[in-house]
Amino acid sequence: MEASHPEWVIQGAKFSTIDYSDQPTLVAAFEGVDVVISTINGAFDGIQGQIALADAAKAAGVKIFAPSEYGSPSITLGGGVGFKKKVHDHLQEIGLPYAIFYTGAFPDMMFRP
């Protein structure tokens, strides 16, 4: 990946190969990182990945975590997006500061022919 994006490396980007089921790998990837912005799949199976990222971020001393929570507010919703509340609850439970960014509806989802 570094070879594909040398301009990012020059600016300080570090690339890491991670395994979401290997906590030490995740923690090592987050060492020295202040902010983690998760873009992991937010679907139902993404909850375990989000929780693994959050736990590793906490262990590595990350200062703030942004879970995959784009679109519209869903914390009070159940069903298809109720899993996001589980992630919020977990973040509160482990005491990891977090920020949620609501971007509104995505035009590509709304304006389809």
Q: Mean pLDDT in runs of 10 for the chain (113 residues)?
A: 80 84 92 91 72 95 90 58 80 95 69 63
Q: Domain ranges for the chain, please list them.
A: 21-106
Tell me which architecture the domain covering 21-106 has in CATH.
Answer: 3-Layer(aba) Sandwich (3.40)
Sequence-separated (6 or more) residues with CB below 8 Å from residue 103: 70, 71
Supply the pLDDT for residue 54: 95
Supply the pLDDT for residue 47: 80
Supply the pLDDT for residue 32: 93
Q: Compute the distance between CA of residue 88 and CA of residue 98 in angstroms, rounded to an integer.
A: 9
Alpha helices in 11-106 (DSSP H): 23-30, 46-60, 82-94
Supply the pLDDT for residue 4: 80
